[in-house]
Amino acid sequence: MSWQDKFSLDAKSIQASEIRELLKILEDPEILSFAGGIPDPDLFPMDRVKAIRDAMEEDPVSDRQSMQYSQTEGFAPLRDWVAENVSTPLNRIERDNILITNGAQQSLTLLSTILLEAGTKLAVASPTYLGALQVFGTRRPQYVTVQTDEDGIIPDSLEEAFKAGATFFYTVPDFQNPGGMTIPEDRRREIIRLAHQYNVGIIEDTAYRALYYDAPPPPSLLDIDCEFVGEGNWQEKGLVIQLGTASKTLMPALRVGWTIAPKVILEKLVLLKQANDLHTSTVNQIVTFELLSNDLDAHVEKLRNVYRQRKDAMLDALRQYLPNSATFTAPGGGMFVWIMLPEGLDAKHLLKKSLEEEKIAFVPGGAFYADEARHNTLRLSFSTCSPDVIRDGMRRLSALIQKEHLAKVA
């Protein structure tokens, strides 16, 4: 039997990426990787996890319930924590606005299913989060791309996209993956104004929002939307859906994230989540809740201190070693620095060289574009290496870039 003949159109649209193949080499322990957007496991709060598990085991009835089926919406105290965390004086977000998902990635999947049709016009930044493009792609939307600069989304370009008929706009406003840019407050206000003018729904992905190393980021698009529509009006008039996750501040393998949305959306998402996988792991939700609701600030402050040093080490080294023909972003948080190579250099080719000659890995930037990929870009992550290793890696990578550039212009 030919299974391929039986694949749906959506299935046919799903293709293995070249990057996925290239990065399989990361399993080699000799590779120095700046590729993964992953937290450092040495910073995981394992002592707290142990204490939480021990406390759970002392109450056998609820310990057993932590392994039982539970309601699709999620663990109520966790939903309450999320609601409390995003409520503002102008707008109360309630438990019924929160759905717990398997990481923010599943939030994107559920939203894609209920909001996207083949051909739906969807605005995304150039570049944007690869995982979002992967899941949107399974619904075969028509992308309308929005240009960015060092301050993220350019409002004029966004208005062009809205005029071109975009129904939804997906954005990572804080320390963007992959670019590292943060959208300033004035642009955020303009984004919300334009979205209301053109009646466009916004999906705001806040994965990196808590990981700031200099100043906290500006108010979220959700905050500004609540202010824009006026006190108490968000349930009816709000157009921002916000996604959050415990993967970056706590631990990815809990697979706990959430969607914050007006109730009309949330009810539909709950029905779909129930059909898709019943609910997120009960025990993992309980552990997440306990971690979020006790001493979170101290834990996140510790992350900030460690990641800040790594970020600074990467930026200092790039300032010192990267040839002037290449430029890079200077993020105030998150995990990523974005490099624009001289025109004519191809980051995929550079990766092959880099793996062969320096055993250094990064992610070529082309995959982060919904269209018109710029292949002379690449993403570096500073989250898992020590400052010394980062400095050494940047020195060697910069030398390789210089060598490749000189070979090109020679």
Q: How far is the CB of 194 from a second copy (least distance, A)?
A: 13
233 is an interface residue for a second copy by CB under 8 A:
no
At residue 377, what is the residue type?
Answer: T
**Of 168, 213, 328, 336, which one interacts with a second copy (CB under 8 A)?**
168
Bond before 127 cis per omega within 30 degrees:
yes
Longest Cα separation, the chain: 73
Q: Which is nearer to a second copy, 102 or 376 (CB)?
A: 102
The mark string for 179-218 relative to a second copy (x by CB under 8 A, - otherwise) is: -----------------x--x-x-----------------
Separation CA 143–CA 194 (nearest Å):
18
Q: How far is the CB of 327 from a second copy (least distance, A)?
A: 30
Q: How far is the CB of 369 from a second copy (least distance, A)?
A: 17
Q: Which is nearer to a second copy, 145 or 284 (CB)?
A: 284
Contacts of a second copy in 109-148 (CB under 8 A) = 109, 113-117, 120, 131, 134-135, 137-139
**Of 51, 55, 67, 164, which one interacts with a second copy (CB under 8 A)?**
67
406 is an interface residue for a second copy by CB under 8 A:
no
Separation CA 186–CA 242 (nearest Å):
19
Contacts of a second copy in 284-343 (CB under 8 A) = 284
Separation CA 401–CA 404 (nearest Å):
5
51 is an interface residue for a second copy by CB under 8 A:
no
Please give the DSSP secondary-structure letter assigned to residue 366.
G
63 is an interface residue for a second copy by CB under 8 A:
yes
Contacts of a second copy in 261-280 (CB under 8 A) = 262, 264-265, 267-268, 271-272, 274-280
SS3 call for 310: helix
Q: Supply angle C-alpha 263, 267, 271, rounded to 5.
A: 165
User: Mind giving me the DSSP string for 230-257?
Assistant: -TT-HHHH--EEEEEESTTTS-GGG--E
Element (H, E) at 302: helix 296-321
